[in-house]
Structure 1
Amino acid sequence: MEQSDEISVRSSNLSRKIIAISAGEAHTLALTGDGKVYTWGRGTFGRLGTGSEEDRSMPVQVRFFGSDDEREEKLKIVEIAAGAYHSLALADDGSVWGWGYGSYGQIGATGENYMVPRLLDGFFGLGSPSSSLQDYETKRGKPLKISSVKAGGMMSLAIDDIGSLWMWGNCPHPPKTGLSEGELELESSPAPVPVWDFHGHTVVKVACGDEHVVALVSAGEAYEGGDLLCYSWGVNSHGQLGLGDTESRWQPAMVETFNLESPWEVYDIACGKSHTALLAQRKRPSDTLESVCWTFGLGDNGQLGHGTAQDLTSPEIVKGLPESVFLVSVDCGLFHTSVVSSVGEVWSWGMEKGFGLCPDARYFGTEAGDALSPLLVPCNGLYDPQFPEPLQVACGAAHTVLVADSGYKLWAWGRGRSGVLGNGKNVDCYVPTLALWPLLSEDFKEGEASNVEQTERVENKTPEGSAQADKRLSEAMAEMQLLQSKLSLVERYASMLHGSIFGRPLQDHEIASLQETSKFDIAKEWEAMLESSDQRKLAHLEMFYRNMLAGVKDKLMKKRIQEIVKECLKSPATTRTE
């Protein structure tokens, strides 16, 4: 296919193009160019929006009204956000939808979990201590409409179309009587509350962690470029507010590193559990492109990327990232951070080699340990080491997702249990692996539609043929899912067996490449594996063999003892009978 033809096909097929991703604790959301939302990963609390708590190891479409409802096709989602255990979606008409864990009111309902998307109606009927919503709407001259949404640990945020910020869920609130200086109280609220501190200014971007918020706000009434100020508030026990101390704030405070006199302008922000990462560029153009990453807050797992495990209360530039390239995206997991550059280089740092892997899913031996400085994550494929045309990176608690190839490919790595990586498997991956995108069902539908069309042209079949085609497609998909389930089970078993022998899960490059011939010489492959193994692997193998051999001998001895005991017990009984 000619390059121009390929571009034409891509531009006309927005259903395959991912324009945004967002990662929660163990689930991921993806938004396509035609306004549809797909999700996969852990289903607990209904965070996937599929109507159940079932895990999904492959992307599945989120239905807001139902496949048979004509409103489903008309609804177009323009933004998505994943909290720890809940999800948000913003439609082009300004409506906000939420689903998943709702105990703190983060999906706009009082203490309830929702398995399917529900429309938030809490943006109406709100007031403020100094004015009513009617006064607010009179000043703005039009009804309230949301233009952006964000989600953190147990809170949700939204920006309306005139740049006002709203919060709901487990949010910082004014302290009650009895709290000492520096203490902060978080209060749950299912109804969105306006942040009046920014009244008269425009909130351009916002991010939140478990209990802190960072926002980019215009210095004047409207954003004119180059005049953004950075504010933060919430819990500050590790300096995650970047204010030079560890005192918590319930009101926004300016991060002085990025005041109006600063040579740096922040253009992207991200929050982990207790740390913050910012991307900034020089305000004044220079001969060399300067795009840098700043981090501050909790650093005990290296998530700040400064070569130490110390906390930082003020922003510092991360060293070791490529120079003279533009950093297009940054995101934070619980204890790791990732950035991607315009040339397709992905860098990660923090817990367990920058994967964010929890203690029960770590490397073993000499390869174990947290990454205190940025590590390059290779593409590990055709484009290695760079990823083609990257768009965005998103970090979950222990997994990372990258959308690249102009939105037509997804890579994921890290913790894979519960189908978190979207590759149809449930195993951890220590190198980037392609997620199952675009959906196989779409390929089946296109192929089936083509076959049906050709058949109808030749045989002049009635519409019943289409129903039969749908039935065949459904049966084929069911069979494919069953085979995929069996394959995942076998791969998981193989990985567990490999881990018990060598002390780490099975990697893709360690799998023997089967030739087209159906014959597989296991003795030859075993010899080749032994030949390529280093001393550490051979030591693991020897120990495993000894333990296995000892276990077999022990079991044989126990079996023999049981037989002897049975014979001894049987003999007296036989004598008495005689």
Structure 2
Amino acid sequence: MVDNTARKCSIKVVAVAAGEAHTLLLTGDGHVYSWGRGILGRLGGGSEHDQHFPVQVNFGSEEDSVRIVGIAAGAYHSLALADDGSVWCWGYNIYGQLGINGEDFHGRKYSDGDYSVVPCLLNKFLELHPPDSSSTVPEAEGKTSLKIIAVKAGGMMSLGIDNLGALWMWGNCPQQSKELGFSLISNFTPTPVWDFHGHTVVQVACGNEHVVALVTGGESYKGVDDLVCYSWGNNSHGQLGLGDTKNRPRPEVVKMKTFDLESPCAIYEVACGAFHTALLTRNKRPSDTLQSTCWTFGLGDNGQLGHGTTQSTLLPEPVKELPQNVYLVSIDCGLFHTCVVSSEGDVWSWGMEKGLGLCPDDSYGGTDSGDALSPLLVSCNPHQPKFPEPVQVACGAAHTVIVAQEGYKLWSWGRGRSGVLGNGKTMDNYTPTTVLWPPLVEDFKQEELHSSNKHNKNEAKDVIETNERLSSALKELKLLQTKLSVMEKYASILHGSIFGEPFGEQDIHASLENSSVSDITKEWENMLEAADRTKLIKLEMLYQNMLTGVKDKLMKRRIKEIINECLQSSRVEN
């Protein structure tokens, strides 16, 4: 029989990362899956096709020997870290965020070096020496070998932390400029941040053009109580938390009593949106219960700071409307929204379009539309408010993904176009929907493995036939899903036109429950009877506007007809 432990490991999600419109997940057995928008090769599947549910990323002919232990997603590119310290990159590369020049793609499919549709090995780390390398070390002892142990990405830049605690950056990176003092420079070669020489970088996050890092006060890492927060880069909205809006080409300490080494608070997680930053802290003093505080700063135009206003903040301020007696295990930022999850499975989101991150023109309308200026509690489903045994949350530009149930189940919500939600559909979802995980083909693979172990040719033949039928079924399923998405969009448009609000599952007409035919006249009458005065007034305004539009169109056509009649009469007279 197939090892049950190995089976669980292959479907257990241990990490998730979200880009602008794509998502990566990492399983316990070291495999990477991706889905969402495929343009610019960000999915790593060998093409630019969209994927509506998780598909495994292959790492060339060396797939069997490559075990991935870390993943990261920038806006349009992706990173994967192997257990041997090697870094694999794919996607958009115009600013050097893959760390590879056009001539270094080694036959991989790409377009003028601008992007790669398959993972490419970043060889340049093998040619470099770590910043802590010392010339005083005897050659007989050899130099400490460089090994990357963590990767991160954001916007158009990539970052890595090595085994000596040094931070490396490549892509569209903030740099010191002689003329301007600060600029963003395209860098195709990983470059160390020398400012942290003699210290250990423990964690890093980056937005569109700024970076935040947690660095040890001394040389070695002794725990989160010993960490200092640094920030640098673009500071046009105060996203560096330094009390002003001046850009910083080099790291500076976020100087607040709350984050000093002598402070009672310790920072244990950082996240960056496009132009805002979020931190999680806990008390250093031992306590019977762990409690967290979420701090945010930077751009606040869409409520992404969660402070109850649309004002930007130049210094870290706590998100006061979050409960004080919870421990937050994960936080992430989209472009203009923020999301946190507690150890108990409570999830809060805030920012653009009710914390979904959707743009205003994507608004689902109604009285509930608009930006969430304070945290909103997100329920797993109407019958289960909490997400069971949460692991991690990740935010894309306008979608959110949460891994829960100890890594065996995923939910997503927000923008659905291009299959971004991984549920097989292309429609936006304003409440959590389950990601199609594990993929259907995984069950087949285990069956195939079981058959091969038994060396039974007849069973192997059956497996091949089953695979062919499954492949055919999957193609048909994709076609049906596409048709269903079109019908759902059409139904939503019709429902909005008739009832003045978006369509939801709760709006399925009673006449459709036991029949394929809906008596729309009866449903309209029932809706009017059940509507309160406020809703009736809104409906009246809606249809008055529609009627006005029709009258305007009739008037314009009538005027055009009169003009044509006059012109014809004048021609006859002449």
Task: Report TM bin, short chain.
Answer: 0.7 to 0.9
3-state DSSP class of the match of 1:122? helix
In the other structure, the counterpart of 1:236 is 235
* Corresponding residue for residue 327 of structure 2: 326
Match of 1:123 in 2: 125
Alpha-carbon shift at residue 510 of structure 1 (Å): 2.3
Q: Which whole-Å CA distance do the structure 2 matches of 1:521 and 1:128 have between them?
A: 69
Match of 1:77 in 2: 68
Q: In 2, distance between residues paired with 1:283 and 1:318? A: 19
CA deviations over 1:332-369 (Å, ceiling 9, x no partner): 11111110001111111111111111121113243222
User: Would the alpha carbon gap of residues 138 and 20 (structure 1) be closer, same or farther in structure 2, given more than 3 Å must change?
Assistant: farther
Q: Does 1:511 align with 2:508?
A: yes
Name which of structure 1's ranges 469-478 and 29-38 shifts more when overlaid on structure 2.
469-478
Aligned to 1:364, what secondary structure does the other structure show?
coil
C-alpha distance in 2 between matches for 1:125 and 1:447: 44
- Conserved? CA contact 2:232–2:252, under 8 Å: yes
- For each residue in 1:84-128, what CA deviation from the matched residue of structure 2 results, as whole angstroms up to 9, or x when unmatched? 111111111111111111100001123520111111112133369
Q: Of residues 39, 60, 64 in structure 1, which corresponds to 2:59?
A: 64
Residue 573 of structure 1 corresponds to: none
2:132 and 2:11 mapped to 1: Cα distance? Answer: 48
- By how many angstroms is 1:498 displaced? 2.5
Counterpart residue identity of residue 24, structure 2: L
Q: Counterpart of 1:213? A: 211
Q: Are the counterparts in 2 of residues 127 and 133 from structure 1 also a CA contact under 8 Å?
A: no
Mapped contact 1:502–1:540 kept (Cα < 8 A):
no
| Aligned-partner Cα distance in 2 for 1:136–1:380 | 62
Q: 1:222 aligns with which of 220, 223, 227?
A: 220
Aligned AA (2:272): C
Task: Give the conservation status (yes or no) of the 8 Å contact 1:296–1:315.
Answer: yes
Seen in structure 2, the aligned counterparts of structure 1 residues 136 and 548 have a Cα distance that, compared at 3 Å, is farther
Match of 1:30 among 18, 25, 40: 25
Rounded to whole Å, the distance in 1 between the matches of 2:347 and 2:174 is: 34
Deviations 1:138-171 (A, max 9, x none): 9984321110000010100000112110000000
In 2, Cα distance between the equivalents of 1:548 and 1:51? 52
Which one-letter code corresponds to 2:118 in the other structure? V
Q: Name the counterpart of 1:414.
A: 414
**Hey, what's the Cα distance between the residues in 2 that align with 1:490 and 1:342?**
39
CA RMSD for the aligned pairs? 3.3
Contact persistence 1:246–1:313 (CA under 8 A) = yes
Where do 5+ consecutive residues of structure 1 fail to align? 1-7, 570-578
Q: What is the identity, as a one-letter code, of the residue corresponding to 1:373?
A: S
- In the alignment, which residue of structure 1 is the partner of 2:172? 170
Q: Supply the distance in 1 between the matched residues of 2:253 and 2:268 (Cα, whole angstroms).
A: 16
Moved more, 43-52 or 360-369: 360-369
1:185 to 183, 186, 198: 183
Match of 1:13, SS? helix
Identity %: 60
Q: Kindly tell me: are residues 521 and 366 of structure 1, through their superposed partners in 2, closer, same or farther at Cα, counting changes over 3 Å?
A: closer
**Amino acid paired to 1:157:** L
Name the SS for the 1:367 alignment partner. Answer: coil
Choose which of 80, 83, 95 in structure 2 pairs with 1:89. 80
How many angstroms apart in 1 are the aligned matches of 2:237 and 2:136?
40
Conservation of the 8 A alpha-carbon contact between 1:428 and 1:505: no
Residues 448-467 of structure 1 deviation map (CA, whole Å, 9 limit, x = unaligned): 889x89x998xx83743333
Displacement after TM superposition at 1:503 (Å):
4.7
Deviations 1:243-291 (A, max 9, x none): 1121111111111221211111100000001110000101111355321
Distance 2:325 2:539 in 1: 46
Structure 1: which amino acid aligns with 2:251? Answer: P
Distance in 2, Cα, partners of 1:525 & 1:399 = 34
Structure 1 counterpart of 2:157, which letter?
Answer: M
Q: Does residue 499 of the first structure (1) align with residue 489 of the second (2)?
A: no
Give the whole-Å Cα distance in 1 for the aligned partners of 2:135 and 2:463.
53
Do the aligned partners of residues 230 and 515 (structure 1) sit closer, same or farther apart at CA in structure 2, a change above 3 Å counting? same
SS in 1 for 2:474: helix
Which 5+ residue runs of structure 2 have no aligned equivalent?
Answer: 102-112, 569-574
1:423 aligns with 2:423: yes
| C-alpha contact 1:501 1:541 (8 A) present in aligned 2 | no
Amino acid at match of 1:107: L
What SS does the aligned partner of 2:480 have?
helix
Aligned to 2:281: 280
**1:15 corresponds to 2:10:** yes
1:275–1:296: 8 Å Cα contact kept in structure 2? yes
The AA in structure 2 aligned to 1:207 is: A
Displacement of 1:442: 2.8
**1:466 alignment counterpart:** 463
CA, structure 1 residues 513+343, in 2 after alignment: closer, same or farther (shift >3 Å)? farther
- Alpha-carbon distance, 1:403 to partner: 0.9
Measure the CA separation in 2 of the matches of 1:436 and 1:201: 43
The one-letter code sitting in structure 1 at the alignment partner of 2:486 is: L
